Amino acid sequence: MHFFDFNLLYCLQFAKPRLPPELRERIFLLSNEVRKKWRQEEQKPPFCGTSKSAMKRRAKRYDKCTSCGNWSHEGRCRKGQTESQYEYTLLMRVGAIRLKAERSVRVGSNVHYKIEEDLIHILDKTGLDDLTLKESLGL
C-alpha cells in the first residue's frame, strides 16, 4: 500500500460523523482506479518514454529511420552514419527532455533546433504555456 492509501484509510476511519464500515469500504474500493492513476502519473513524467514504441512514435514524427537516423527509407540501412544522424537516433531513443538534461548536443545543429521545437510542443501539449517556464528553459 502507498502512503496516500493509508492516509485515505485514516481519514475514512476517523471521519466525523462516524461512517459505517460498509460505506468506508465502498468509498475506498471506488477510489482505487483514481489512486492507481495518480501513482502512475507521479512516477513517470509525460513524454519521457524510452520504450521501442516511443522511439517509433518519435521517428514517425521526425520522418527518420530508427536504426540509422537517415530520412525514412525502404530496405536496409546504408553503412557510415554521420554525426547528425547519430544525434537523431539518440534523440529518438531517449527523448528531448532527457537529451537536453543529460547530454550535450552541438549548438546550431538540426537536432539542437528539433529539441527546442519538441520542448515547446511538450509545453503546449501539457498546458504549461507559462512564459517564465519557457524563459527558464532557454526557449
Domain ranges of the chain: 3-40, 52-71+79-137
Which DSSP state fits 72? Answer: P
Query: Which residue reads 520504450 in cell numbers?
Result: 51
Cα-flanking dihedrals φ and ψ of residue 122, to 5°? -65, -45
For 108-119, the pLDDT digits (tens) are 888 999 998 888
Residue 78 confidence (pLDDT): 85
For 15-26, the pLDDT digits (tens) are 888 888 898 888
Report the distance separating Cα 2 and Cα 9, nearest Å: 11
Between these two residues, 46 and 31, which has the higher pLDDT value? 31
**Residue pair 119/99 in contact by the 8 Å Cβ criterion:** no
In this structure, the number of other CB atoms found within 10 A of the CB of residue 85 comes to: 21
92 pLDDT more than 70: yes
Range with lowest mean pLDDT among 1-5, 53-57, 69-73, 80-84:
1-5
Name the band, by pLDDT with cuts 50, 70 and 90, for residue 63. Answer: very high
4 pLDDT more than 80: no
Strand partners, 64: 71
All three cell numbers of 121, joined, read 510542443
- Which range, 52-61, 76-85, 129-138, has the best average confidence (pLDDT)? 52-61
